Amino acid sequence: MEECVFCKIIKNEIKASIVFENDRFIAFLDKSPIFKGHTLLIPKEHIETLFDFPEDYLEELAVESKLIAEGVKKGTNCDGILLINNNVVSQSVPHFHVHIIPREKGKPLRGFMWPRTKYKDEVEEEGFKEKISKSIEMLK
């Protein structure tokens, strides 16, 4: 089986706008965000679904999800956060990932999560990366 795209990001074989990294997790901006600042948190170990997650790892997942969600909220100055995790159905990459999506009152999800958007350019994407990364650092 060909190595998954997220494993390639972990190994720096594919470029990603990384906002957080420690020895067990990495978080980066989604390339096709629902709203700008949409971040993915993944384990560095290749784990496909929540059902495959070792139980001792789940507490760390919850703690890091909270940290990244707080960083996204502060970094994007949004009103709230939507956390989503698909398992098998609608899971576009077979590597566990949590979607951390900034939400603003009055900006509804269209068709629940589609259509997605794009960053205007690398400069705009880098700006979101820096704001979120800085916010996460300040929260640690």
Is the predicted pLDDT of residue 1 greater than 60, yes or no?
no
Q: Which domain holds residue 19?
A: 5-139
Counting the structural domains of the chain, the total is 1
Among 36-40, 83-87, 107-111, 136-140, the least confident range: 107-111
- 99 is an active site residue: no
pLDDT at 93: 81
Which amino acid appears at position 63 of this protein?
V
CATH of the domain at 106: 3.30.428.10
pTM of the prediction? 0.87
Please pick, among 38, 95, 97, 99, the residue that the annotation labels catalytic. Answer: 97
DSSP string for residues in 69-122: HHHHHHHHT-SEEEEE---STT-SSSS--EEEEEE-TT-PPTTTT-S----SSH
